[in-house]
Amino acid sequence: MQVNRREFLKLSGVSAAGAAVVLFADERKALAQDLKEHRITKAKEVPTVCPHCSVGCGMIAYVKEGELLQLEGNPDSPISEGSLCPKGAASMQFAYDAVGKANPLRQLKAKYRKPGATAWEEIDLEKALDMIAERVKETRDKSFVATNKDGLTVNRNEGLAHLGSACIDNEECYLVTKLMRSLGVVYLEHHARI
Amino acid sequence: MGRTATLAAWRPDPGNPKQQVAMLVDTTECIGCKACEVACKQWNQNEYRINQELGTYQSHPSLDAQTWTLIKFIEREDEDGVNQWLMQKHNCMHCSEAGCVTACPTDALHYGDYGVVTLDQEKCIGCAYCEPACPFDAIHVDKSAFRQTAQKAGKCTLCFDRISNAMQPACVSTCPTDCIKYGDRGELLKWAYARVEQLKAMGYANANVYGDKELGGLHELYVLLEKPEVYGLPVNPTLSKRLTFWKYGLQPVGKAILGAALFGMVINWFAARRTFKGGHGPGEEAEAPASLHD
Amino acid sequence: MAVRSKVKIKKFSRAQVVFHWVYGSSWFLLMLTGMSFLWRPDPGAAAVGLGPLLQGTVGQSFRLVHRVAAIGLMASPLTWLVGDFRSLWPDLKELLRFGINDARYMLIAPLHYTFGKPALPPQGKYNGGHKVNFYVVVLTFIGFVSSGLLMWFGRGAVPDGTFHMAQIVHSTSFWLGAIMTALHIYLTAVHPFTRRALSAMTQGFVELNYAKAEHKVWVEKEIAAGTAVLVEEPGDC
Amino acid sequence: MPGLGTSFGRGAMTTSFWDIPNADVVVFMGSNAAENHPISFKWFLRAKQKGAKIIVVDPRFTRTASKADMWLPFRSGSDIAVLGGLINYAITHNKIHRDYVVKYTNASLLVNPNFKFEEGLFSGWDAQTKKYNQATWSFQTGPDGALLRDDTLTNPATVYQHIKRIYGEYTSERVSEISGISVEDFNKFAEIVTSTGQAGKSAVFAYAMGWTQHTKGVQNIRCSTLLQMLLGNVGVPGGGIAALRGHANVQGATDLAVLYHDLPGYLGQPTEAHKTLAEFLDKTTTKQSYWINKPKFMVSLLKAWYGKAATKANDFAYDYIPKMAGNATYSHYDIFQSVLDGKVEGLLCMGQNPAVGSANAKKVHAALAKLKWLVHVDLFDNETGEFWKLDGMDASAIDTEIFFLPAAGPLEKEGSFTNSHRLLQWKHKAIEPLGESRSDGWYINELGKRLKKLYASSTAAKDAPIRDLVWEYDHPEHPDDFDHLKVLKEINGYDMTTGKPVAGFGALKDDGTTACGCWIYSGVYPEEGVNKADARKRGAPNREDGWTEAKKDGSADYLHLGWAFAWPANRRILYNRASADPQGKTWGKVPLVWWDDAGKKWAGCDVPDMLPVEPGKVHAAGVPGDTPFIMKAQGMGGIWGPLADGPLPVHYEPVESPIQNPLYKQSTVPNARTFGSEHDKFGTTAEFPYVVTTYRLTEHQTSGVMTRTLGFLAEAFARPFVEISRELAQEQGIRNGGLVEVSSARGKVKVQAMVTNRVKPLKMGAKLVHVIGLPIHWGPKSGHVQGDIANTLTPQAIDVNVQIQESKVFLGNVKKA
**φ, ψ (nearest 5 deg) of residue C207:** -55, 140
In a domain, C2, yes or no: no
pLDDT tens for each residue of D99-152: 999 999 999 999 999 999 999 999 999 999 999 999 999 999 999 888 999 999
Name residue D398's amino acid.
I
In a domain, D345, yes or no: yes
pLDDT value at position A29?
Answer: 34
With b for 16 or more beta-carbon neighbours within 10 A and e for fewer, the D655-693 pattern comes to bbbbbebebbebbbbbbbbbbebebbebbeeeebbbbbb
Contacts of C54 in chain B (CB under 8 A): 105-106, 125
To the nearest whole percent, how much of chain B has pLDDT over 90?
A: 62
CB atoms within 10 A of CB C20: 17
Distances (CA, A) of C187 to B118, B269, C50, C191: 47, 9, 30, 5
Mutate to test the interface with B, among C209, C229, C233 (most CBs of B within 10 A): C209
Identify the CA nearest to D444 among candidates D258, D594, D624. Answer: D258
Q: Which chains touch D (3 or more CB pairs under 8 A)?
A: A, B
Mutate to test the interface with C, among A9, A10, A23 (most CBs of C within 10 A): A23
Q: How confident is the model at residue A9 (pLDDT cuts 50, 70, 90)?
A: very low
pLDDT value at position C98?
Answer: 87
- Would the CB atoms of A184 and D322 count as touching at under 8 Å? yes
Q: Does residue C48 surpass a pLDDT of 90?
A: no
The count of domains in chain D is: 2
Query: Could you tell me where the DSSP H helices lie in B45-153?
Result: 99-103, 130-133
pLDDT tens for each residue of D756-790: 999 999 999 889 999 999 999 999 989 999 999 99
Cβ-nearest to D37 among A48, A55, A97:
A55
Contact (CB, 8 A) for A137 and D451: yes
Three-state DSSP at D401 gives strand
Q: Nearest-CA distance from A14 to chain B in Å?
A: 8
Q: Does residue A39 surpass a pLDDT of 90?
A: no
| Cα D358 to Cα C29: distance, rounded to the nearest angstrom | 67
Count of helices and strands (H, E) across chain D = 21, 27
| Cα C199 to Cα C217: distance, rounded to the nearest angstrom | 20
**φ, ψ (nearest 5 deg) of residue A147:** -130, 150
pLDDT tens for each residue of D624-633: 888 899 999 8
CB atoms within 10 A of CB B277: 10
Contacts of B290 in chain C (CB under 8 A): 7, 208, 230
With b for 16 or more beta-carbon neighbours within 10 A and e for fewer, the B179-197 pattern comes to bbbbbbbeebbebbeebbe
Contacts of B246 in chain C (CB under 8 A): 164, 167-168, 171
Distances (CA, A) of C5 to B187, B208, C213, C223, D278: 88, 87, 18, 20, 135
Give the pLDDT mean for A2-22: 34
pLDDT value at position A24?
Answer: 35
pLDDT value at position A12?
Answer: 36
pLDDT tens for each residue of D409-434: 999 999 999 999 999 999 999 999 99
pLDDT value at position D298?
Answer: 96
CATH number at residue D357: 3.40.50.740
pLDDT value at position B286?
Answer: 60
Give the pLDDT mean for D36-65: 95
| Cα A64 to Cα D430: distance, rounded to the nearest angstrom | 10
First to last CA, chain B: 101
Mutate to test the interface with A, among C36, C39, C48 (most CBs of A within 10 A): C48
| Cα C189 to Cα C183: distance, rounded to the nearest angstrom | 10
Q: Which chains touch B (3 or more CB pairs under 8 A)?
A: A, C, D
Identify the CA nearest to B85 among candidates B77, B97, B93. Answer: B77
CATH 2.20.25.90 domain locations along chain A = 5-28+42-102
Q: Nearest-CA distance from B7 to chain C in Å?
A: 35
Q: What share of chain B is helix, strand, coil (3-state, %, to 5)?
A: 35, 15, 50
Least reliable range by pLDDT among B175-179, D469-473, D544-548? D544-548
Q: Does residue A186 surpass a pLDDT of 80?
A: yes
Name residue D726's amino acid.
R
DSSP string, C144-208: HHHHHHHHHH-TTTS-HHHHHHHHHHHHHHHHHHHHHHHHHHIIIIISTTGGGGHHHHHTSEEEH
Identify the CA nearest to B108 among candidates B145, B157, B66. Answer: B157
Q: Does residue D593 surpass a pLDDT of 50?
A: yes
Give the pLDDT mean for A99-103: 92
Q: Does residue D294 surpass a pLDDT of 60?
A: yes
pLDDT value at position A194?
Answer: 64
CB atoms within 10 A of CB A102: 15
Would you give the DSSP letter of residue B43?
A: H
Give the pLDDT mean for B36-60: 94
The range of the structural domain enclosing residue D727 comes to 690-816
To the nearest whole percent, how much of chain D has pLDDT over 70?
A: 100
In a domain, C1, yes or no: no
Q: How confident is the model at residue C37 (pLDDT cuts 50, 70, 90)?
A: confident
Three-state DSSP at D743 gives strand
Q: Does residue D397 surpass a pLDDT of 50?
A: yes
B21-239 CATH, one of 3.30.70.100, 3.40.50.720, 3.40.50.1980, 3.30.70.20: 3.30.70.20
CATH number at residue D739: 2.40.40.20
| Cα B176 to Cα A80: distance, rounded to the nearest angstrom | 7
pLDDT tens for each residue of D679-738: 999 999 999 999 999 999 999 999 999 999 999 999 999 999 999 999 999 999 999 999
- Would the CB atoms of C48 and A24 count as touching at under 8 Å? yes
pLDDT value at position A70?
Answer: 93
Q: Does residue C1 surpass a pLDDT of 70?
A: no
Name residue D201's amino acid.
K
Better-scored residue on pLDDT, B294 or A55:
A55
Give the pLDDT mean for D69-77: 95
| Cα D755 to Cα B135: distance, rounded to the nearest angstrom | 30
| Cα B51 to Cα B60: distance, rounded to the nearest angstrom | 6
pLDDT value at position C2?
Answer: 46
Q: How confident is the model at residue B287 (pLDDT cuts 50, 70, 90)?
A: low
Contact (CB, 8 A) for D130 and D123: no
pLDDT tens for each residue of C72-116: 999 988 888 888 788 888 888 888 888 888 888 888 888 888 888
As a dihedral over the C-alpha atoms of residue D431, residue D432, residue D434, residue D436, rounded to 10 degrees, the angle is 170
* Average pLDDT value over all residues in chain D: 94
Name residue C12's amino acid.
F
Per domain, the residue ranges of chain B are 21-239, 245-277
Mutate to test the interface with B, among D28, D55, D66 (most CBs of B within 10 A): D66
- Would the CB atoms of D63 and B54 count as touching at under 8 Å? no
Contact (CB, 8 A) for D101 and D152: no
Q: Nearest-CA distance from C55 to chain A in Å?
A: 12
Q: Nearest-CA distance from A33 to chain C in Å?
A: 21
- Would the CB atoms of C52 and A26 count as touching at under 8 Å? no
pLDDT value at position B290?
Answer: 47
Q: Does residue A22 surpass a pLDDT of 70?
A: no
Contact (CB, 8 A) for D518 and D422: no
pLDDT tens for each residue of D359-395: 999 999 999 999 999 999 999 999 999 999 998 899 9
Q: Does residue B4 surpass a pLDDT of 70?
A: no
Give the pLDDT mean for C137-142: 94
pLDDT tens for each residue of C162-197: 999 999 999 999 999 999 999 999 988 888 888 888
Contact (CB, 8 A) for B117 and B68: no
Better-scored residue on pLDDT, D219 or D289:
D219
User: If you count residue pairs, one on B and one on D, with CB atoms under 8 Å apart, how many are there?
Assistant: 117
pLDDT value at position A32?
Answer: 36
Give the pLDDT mean for B99-127: 90
In a domain, D581, yes or no: no
Contacts of B141 in chain C (CB under 8 A): 155-156
The count of domains in chain C is: 1
Q: How confident is the model at residue B285 (pLDDT cuts 50, 70, 90)?
A: low
Name residue D41's amino acid.
F
| Cα A44 to Cα A71: distance, rounded to the nearest angstrom | 11
Q: Does residue D447 surpass a pLDDT of 90?
A: yes
pLDDT tens for each residue of A108-143: 999 999 999 999 999 999 999 999 999 999 999 999
Q: What ipTM does the predicted assembly reach?
A: 0.90
Give the pLDDT mean for A75-97: 94
- Would the CB atoms of B85 and D63 count as touching at under 8 Å? yes
CATH number at residue C203: 1.20.950.20
- Would the CB atoms of A71 and D711 count as touching at under 8 Å? no
Q: Does residue D586 surpass a pLDDT of 60?
A: yes
Range list of β-strands (E), D145-212: 203-207
Q: Nearest-CA distance from D31 to chain A in Å?
A: 13
- Would the CB atoms of B111 and C44 count as touching at under 8 Å? yes
pLDDT value at position D340?
Answer: 95
Q: Which CATH class is domain A5-28+42-102?
A: mainly beta
Residue of chain C nearest A25, judged by CA positions: C46
| Cα A141 to Cα A152: distance, rounded to the nearest angstrom | 19
Contacts of B70 in chain A (CB under 8 A): none
Residue of chain D nearest B84, judged by CA positions: D66
Give the pLDDT mean for B252-276: 89
Better-scored residue on pLDDT, B275 or D229:
D229
In a domain, D393, yes or no: yes
Q: Does residue A23 surpass a pLDDT of 50?
A: no
DSSP string, D570-600: T-SSTTGGGGB-TTS-B-SSS--EEEETTTT
Q: Does residue A14 surpass a pLDDT of 50?
A: no
Q: The whole model's pTM is what?
A: 0.91
| Cα B125 to Cα D764: distance, rounded to the nearest angstrom | 63
Do the two chains C and D touch, given a threshold of 8 Å on CB pairs and at least 3 pairs?
no
Name residue A128's amino acid.
A
Give the pLDDT mean for B22-50: 94
Cβ-nearest to B292 among C172, C191, C232:
C232
- Would the CB atoms of D402 and A76 count as touching at under 8 Å? no
The range of the structural domain enclosing residue C229 comes to 7-41+48-233
| Cα B33 to Cα B39: distance, rounded to the nearest angstrom | 11
Contact (CB, 8 A) for D264 and A174: yes
DSSP string, A66-106: TEEEEEEE-TT-TTTTT---HHHHTGGGGTEEETTEE-TTB
| Cα D419 to Cα D406: distance, rounded to the nearest angstrom | 25
DSSP string, D604-661: ESS---S-S--TTSB-TTS-BTT-S-TTSGGG-B-SS--BTTBSS----B-SS-SS--
